[in-house]
């Protein structure tokens, strides 16, 4: 039998760091990444045949678990019909119609292949539609690896960002204004300073890339009002939260808290592809009319709206619309979070946790953090020990303290119990 270590060594010879996306390398937590051989329902199995309860779910897409029969059937049927045509297909219309039915803030969507592409195109669209260059993003929010979005806050108030990756030129980051998440004062100051130069504000409504930090209601309200007042567009990056925290996505949740709330542009990924490369961005018709071939904002893709990916996405969206789906997923996730809190309390471990729909986060901190700086005060060594103890016990959590977790419809009450009992031992 080949071991994970052998595969990692072999991978490192031909793939930089042995992985095709950095967090998979376990650098933050140390140790050897597990090479996954297959998944079934709530479980994944590594190359050594060890089974794990999967709380990553491919970083969000696998809301039904692995190998859901209806999704498998749809994908197999589509694959037989053809992998890719580079011409329009009826399935793209069906998927667009489904997404628009569930997210009424948009009249039209454009399908792409990754969240990175979708956010990049959303920013270009906002710039093209407003004729402005600058935009605001928040520290700790991840929107994919486009140059202008790979930017960290400079020091001080409303500073322009510094590139956080080699290869990103200062020029590419020069129009990115980076602010602290949930900081209304900074937001107001930035609009006072740059209001008429701002094309948009891009934000994760629940920031899953700093584990799980909700945009507070005053913060979301301020973003909406300031954008409207200054003619900037509010871009909600729902790549992670879309069809994951609620059927209507995070924006439906905020619409219940803030009367009339709606973003100008929405970005989706992950769940809408059900595990296949698929993402989307959408807006009202007036905004979308700026896109090529109708308008001057260019955007394209050889594999955009791929027939197999759209079949997978459609089958996934069909399942999550079944009566009671989100109620059951939410209850299960809440059971996990409440259980983890109780187990931590039993052991006197500082702990806080939160969830919405099938997305959750936990912190080895006494209170839920509100921004990136506080998230990063977590005791990393303690987190890493907890992570490895859980992994050894067959519970696969995100290998970094700043990543959210995901529960799927396939997780059973027994899986949650197994997880809590492993956590009880690990936290001890």
Q: Active-site residue numbers?
A: 142, 237, 270
155: tokens are 């020091």
Of 47 and 123, CB closest to ligand PLP: 123
CB of 277 to ligand PLP, least distance (A): 8
Beta strands in 59-212 (DSSP E): 108-112, 134-138, 151-152, 162-163, 176-179, 198-203, 206-207
Of 277 and 339, CB closest to ligand PLP: 277
Of 205 and 339, CB closest to ligand PLP: 205
CB of 114 to ligand PLP, least distance (A): 4
Classify strands 265-268 and 279-283 as parallel, antiparallel or unpaired.
antiparallel
What residue is closest to ligand PLP based on CB? 115
Inter-residue contact 365 to 353 (CB < 8 Å) = no
Distance CA 8, CA 324 (A): 42
Contact residues for ligand PLP, defined by CB under 6 A: 59, 114-116, 119, 142-144, 204, 208-209, 237, 239-240, 269, 279
Beta strands in 151-231 (DSSP E): 151-152, 162-163, 176-179, 198-203, 206-207, 213-214
CB of 117 to ligand PLP, least distance (A): 7
Taking the alpha carbons of 45, 50, 51, 54 in that order, is the dihedral positive or negative?
A: negative
CB of 225 to ligand PLP, least distance (A): 23
Helices (H), 293-379: 307-320, 325-346, 372-375
Distance CA 308, CA 128 (A): 31
Provide the b/e sequence for 150-167 (b: ≥16 CB within 10 Å). Answer: bbbbeeeebebbebeeee
Of 208 and 357, CB closest to ligand PLP: 208
Provide the b/e sequence for 386-418 (b: ≥16 CB within 10 Å). Answer: bbbbbbebebbbbbbbbbbbbbbbbbeeebbee
Beta strands in 247-367 (DSSP E): 265-268, 279-283, 352-356, 359-363
Distance CA 179, CA 276 (A): 33
Helix (H, G, I), strand (E, B) or coil at 46: strand
Of 235 and 416, CB closest to ligand PLP: 235
Of 204 and 415, CB closest to ligand PLP: 204
């Amino acid at each position: 039998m080949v071991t994970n270590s052998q595969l990692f060594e072999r991978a490192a010879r031909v793939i930089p760091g042995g992985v095709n996306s950095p967090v998979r390398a376990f650098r933050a937590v140390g140790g050897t990444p597990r090479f996954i051989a297959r998944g079934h329902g709530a479980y994944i199995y590594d190359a050594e045949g060890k089974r794990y309860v999967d709380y990553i779910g491919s970083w969000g897409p696998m809301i039904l678990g692995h190998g859901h029969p209806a999704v498998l059937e749809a994908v197999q049927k589509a694959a037989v019909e053809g992998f890719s045509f580079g011409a329009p297909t009826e399935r793209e219309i069906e998927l667009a119609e489904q997404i628009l039915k569930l997210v009424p803030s948009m009249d039209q969507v454009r399908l792409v292949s990754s969240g990175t592409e979708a956010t990049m195109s959303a920013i270009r669209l906002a710039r093209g539609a407003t004729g402005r260059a600058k935009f605001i993003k928040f520290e700790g929010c991840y929107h994919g690896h486009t140059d202008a979005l790979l930017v960290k806050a400079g020091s001080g108030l409303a500073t322009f960002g510094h590139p956080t990756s080699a290869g990103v030129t200062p020029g590419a980051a020069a129009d990115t204004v980076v602010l602290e998440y949930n900081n209304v004062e900074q937001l107001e100051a930035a609009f006072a300073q740059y209001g008429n130069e701002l094309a948009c504000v891009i934000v994760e409504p629940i920031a899953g890339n700093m584990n799980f930090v909700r945009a507070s209601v005053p913060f979301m309200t301020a973003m909406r009002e300031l954008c409207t007042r200054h003619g900037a567009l509010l871009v909600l990056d729902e790549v992670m939260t879309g069809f994951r925290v609620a059927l209507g996505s995070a924006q439906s949740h905020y619409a219940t808290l803030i009367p009339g709330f709606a973003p100008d542009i929405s970005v989706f990924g992950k769940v809408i592809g059900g595990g296949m490369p698929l993402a989307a961005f959408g807006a009202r018709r007036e905004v979308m009319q700026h896109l090529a071939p109708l308008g001057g904002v260019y955007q394209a893709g050889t594999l955009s709206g791929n027939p197999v990916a759209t079949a997978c996405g459609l089958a996934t969206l069909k399942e999550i619309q079944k009566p009671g789906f989100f109620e059951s997923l939410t209850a299960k996730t809440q059971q996990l979070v409440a259980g983890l809190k109780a187990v931590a309390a039993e052991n006197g471990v500082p702990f806080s946790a939160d969830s919405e729909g099938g997305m959750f986060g936990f912190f080895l901190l006494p209170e839920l953090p509100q921004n990136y700086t506080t998230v990063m005060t977590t005791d990393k060594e303690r987190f890493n020990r907890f992570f490895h103890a859980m992994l050894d016990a067959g519970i696969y959590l995100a290998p970094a303290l700043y990543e959210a977790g995901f529960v799927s419809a396939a997780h059973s009450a027994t899986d949650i119990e197994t997880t809590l009992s492993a956590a009880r031992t690990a936290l001890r």
